[in-house]
Amino acid sequence: MSAWACRPLSDEERRLNVQKVISCNEQKKEVIFLQNAANKQVEKTFLFDKVFGPKAQQRSIYDYAISPFVKDVLEGFNCTVFAYGQTGTGKTYTMEGEMKFKGGDYSGDAGVIPRAVRHIFDALEAHKADYSMKVTFLELYNEEITDLLVTEEHSRILDDKQKRSISLMEDGKGGAIIRGLHEEVVYSANDIYNLLERGSAKRRTADTMLNKQSSRSHSIFSITIHVKEVTLGNEELIKCGRLNLVDLAGSENISKSGVREARAREAGEMNKSLLTLGRVITALVEHSGHVPYRDSKLTRLLRDSLGGKSKTCIIATISPSVLCLEETLSTLDYAYRAKSIKNKPEANRKVSKSVLLKDLYSEIERMKQDVRAAREKNGVYIPHERFTQDEAEKKAMGEKIEHMEFNIDLLRKEASKFEELYQAEQERNLDLESEIQKYEEISENSKKALENLQGIHNMTNLMLKEKEFIISNLLQSENAILRRSKQMHSNLENASQDMSLLLAKIERQTKIGTENQGLVLNFGSQLDQSLSDLHKTVIGSVCQHQQALRSIEEHVRSFLVAKSEATRNLELRIAKIKDVYTSGVQGMKKLANVLEEKSSSDMEQMKLSISAQMIAIENFLVTAIAEAEHVLSDVQTSLVEQKELLVFSAQQQEMGLQQSLVSTQVI
Ligand SMILES: Nc1ncnc2c1ncn2[C@@H]1O[C@H](COP(=O)(O)OP(=O)(O)OP(=O)(O)O)[C@@H](O)[C@H]1O
């Protein structure tokens, strides 16, 4: 697991108006690097398991990264938390924080260690567990281990040899045992807080150009807990878990931190540990066969936490300032790689209480022997067994010294040779130094030139990219034009084929046109002829028709005259008959009147004869009228027939005329 903690800009950085190049997105778990340089914006995003921005509380870091480990430690796991980052980015702040404890409790600014301590005690008390706890606090400085829990008083009593007697030994299981490290048994959180205050005060610090409070040492605070567990068979087992809280030294490189001469070794050693840590991480990430744990004490101590059975969390601390940019990016990269290391967490084997007691008894026995030896043998502080062992070691050392002295003689001789060489070299060196100076000037100039060139290079790169873009566009357009031209070429070929076909067609059509022209001319003259003939015919037929019409008119007129004459005669005859009739009727009436006067007897006969006479006259008149009507109807019928004939002949003439006109128009 890995987490990121970015501190806020310090007061000094704010006062100097230092640019901020890092921002954190806690929700998205992203660290975003954003910088404007030479009108170019560079942005890079790193994704982590958890990110804490400048406003994050100490409590949230603890709750997320460390809190789950407390439960694991009580279950018998070994867990390690280590803080990695540049000097002054907040490693100690994150791990220790405010180390003042009021009324047995920590403040809001307290770091991971005091919170873990309180949490562990609270958990043990909540479970009413039967436990024992011991802590160690060590510092690794110049590949030397210092016990931070040894009091000044105790340290004054110990001689130099004993002070240096803390050593690392292999435990035979791939781990390391620190011989001579003081383990303090603790019973309360307060006990630990006191030890912490004591240990922190002891941590060495030295000034550098970056941070006056900077620490160039690694510190490891370990809490080992034994918890009793009663099994179903009433056997008492002991679970043993350990929490290691590691505050690494600043990760910056030597030249930047301004460490010089006397500190060079110190920085070198510090870097040896960090460099080896880096190599171990690389080897684990790349699954190399060989992991160089043994190359530094730090990696020997943390071996189990790097790819081993421990549960591990790295808290990488960074600064948002542009001044720390280079180191921030290297920290980002370093921790990003470390993130992918896969441990295989495994709980420590539970041991029975009897086995543990046996171990403890043998330890007590060993210590008792030490005490007895110190009391009984005046001036000798170690047991006989260890004395003989030391004597044997001394003898071996004596032989070794003799051997070394012989070697030293040889080396001295060689050294004098080397001294001569050295003198010669010194002279050469002087020459070289002056040359170097010259070269330095040249290199300074070259650097400037390089910077300029880099600027130009960047510009050129940009232009190159632009040109590449334009060229790619041009190539695309060229391809499009080629495709278009090919298409046009094929279109042109088709068009020329169409043209030749069209020309042939036009030729054929001109030929047909001239033929048609001749035909049209011919047809025109023929048509003219026909039209004039037709005109003549029409005129002739019109004249004929007019003559016929005139004769028909005359005929009708004479017929009408004849008929009107006959009608007049008939009318005259009818009028005459009418006159006769009226005069006869009047005569009859007169005769009747006479006869009436003569005899009434003859009256009857006479009436009969008169009525007979009247019927005869009436019949005659009816017949005459019928005849007259018959004649009249005959006259009328012939008149109607004559009229129809006239109308028909007129229609015939009109139709003839219209046909001749239509044929003239068609032509
Ligand atoms: N998150 C934070 N909030 C407020 N102040 C912080 C934060 N982190 C660090 N600081 C402050 O920055 C300064 C440097 O922090 P600290 O000493 O913890 O850095 P460091 O990485 O441990 O340095 P060194 O490598 O020298 O041990 C301290 O004054 C600390 O109070």
Instruction: Measure the CA–CA gap between 410 and 348, rounded to whole angstroms.
Output: 52
User: Range with the lowest mean pLDDT among 44-48, 338-342, 405-409?
Assistant: 405-409
Q: What residue's CA is closest to ligand 1, atom 31?
A: 93
**In this predicted structure, what is the pLDDT of residue 181?**
86
User: Range with the lowest mean pLDDT among 107-111, 207-211, 446-450?
Assistant: 207-211
Q: What pTM was computed for the model?
A: 0.55
**In this predicted structure, what is the pLDDT of residue 137?**
92
Residue with tokens 């004939």: 645
For 433-458, what is the mean pLDDT? Answer: 85
**In this predicted structure, what is the pLDDT of residue 97?**
86
* CA-96 nearest atom, ligand 1: 18
* CA-214 nearest atom, ligand 1: 26
How far, in Å, from the CA of 202 to the mean position of ligand 1?
A: 18
Query: Is residue 339 in contact with ligand 1, taking CB distance under 6 Å?
Result: no
For 418-444, what is the mean pLDDT? Answer: 84
* CA-211 nearest atom, ligand 1: 26
Instruction: Measure the CA–CA gap between 97 and 114, rounded to whole angstroms.
Output: 9
Six-digit token pair at 216? Answer: 């160039």
Three-point CA angle 183, 1, 338, nearest 5°: 90
* CA-52 nearest atom, ligand 1: 1
- Percentage above 90 pLDDT, the chain: 6
**In this predicted structure, what is the pLDDT of residue 270?**
52
For 104-133, what is the mean pLDDT? Answer: 87
How far, in Å, from the CA of 300 to the mean position of ligand 1?
A: 27
Instruction: Measure the CA–CA gap between 411 and 428, rounded to whole angstroms.
Output: 24
Query: Is residue 7 in contact with ligand 1, taking CB distance under 6 Å?
Result: yes
3-state SS, 363-399, equals HHHHHHHHHHHHHHCCCCCCCHHHHHHHHHHHHHHHH
**Are the C-beta atoms of 117 and 73 separated by less than 8 Å?**
no
How far, in Å, from the CA of 325 to the mean position of ligand 1?
A: 17
The strand pair at 311-318 and 2-6 is best described as parallel
Greatest mean pLDDT among 196-205, 219-228, 500-509: 219-228
How far, in Å, from the CA of 221 to the mean position of ligand 1?
A: 18
Residue with tokens 């030994």: 169
**Are the C-beta atoms of 169 and 201 separated by less than 8 Å?**
no
Query: Is residue 312 in contact with ligand 1, taking CB distance under 6 Å?
Result: no
How far, in Å, from the CA of 90 to the mean position of ligand 1?
A: 3
Query: Is residue 85 in contact with ligand 1, taking CB distance under 6 Å?
Result: yes
**Are the C-beta atoms of 115 and 58 separated by less than 8 Å?**
yes
**In this predicted structure, what is the pLDDT of residue 155?**
62
pLDDT digits (tens, 9 = 90+) for 212-261: 444 678 889 999 999 988 777 777 788 889 999 998 888 774 344 444 44
Q: Which residues pair with 40 in a beta bridge?
A: 37
Instruction: Measure the CA–CA gap between 73 and 500, rounded to whole angstroms.
Output: 98
**In this predicted structure, what is the pLDDT of residue 383?**
63
How far, in Å, from the CA of 10 to the mean position of ligand 1?
A: 9
Q: Which residues pair with 352 in a beta bridge?
A: 237
Say which residue, 357 or 117, is predicted with more confidence. 117
Binding-site positions: 85-92
586, 605, 585: which is closest to 595 by C-alpha? 605
Strand locations in 151-260 (E):
167-170, 176-179, 184-186, 218-230, 236-247
Query: Is residue 92 in contact with ligand 1, taking CB distance under 6 Å?
Result: yes
Q: What residue's CA is closest to ligand 1, atom 16?
A: 90
Say which residue, 470 or 655, is predicted with more confidence. 470
Query: Is residue 214 in contact with ligand 1, taking CB distance under 6 Å?
Result: yes
**In this predicted structure, what is the pLDDT of residue 225?**
93
**In this predicted structure, what is the pLDDT of residue 380?**
55
pLDDT digits (tens, 9 = 90+) for 394-428: 777 777 777 777 777 787 777 778 788 888 888 88
| Per-residue pLDDT at 135 exceeds 90 | yes
Binding-site positions for ATP: 85-92
Instruction: Measure the CA–CA gap between 230 and 237, rounded to whole angstroms.
Output: 6
| Per-residue pLDDT at 164 exceeds 80 | no
**In this predicted structure, what is the pLDDT of residue 377?**
57
> Where residue 37 falls among pLDDT bands split at 50, 70, 90?
low
How far, in Å, from the CA of 91 to the mean position of ligand 1?
A: 6
Query: Is residue 58 in contact with ligand 1, taking CB distance under 6 Å?
Result: no
Six-digit token pair at 223? Answer: 């809490």
Instruction: Measure the CA–CA gap between 585 and 317, rounded to whole angstroms.
Output: 166
| Per-residue pLDDT at 572 exceeds 60 | yes
Distances (CA, A) of 652 to 74, 526, 645: 138, 29, 10
Please classify residue 451 by burial: count the beta carbons closer than 10 Å to its beta carbon, then call 0-12 exposed, 13-18 middle and 19+ buried: exposed
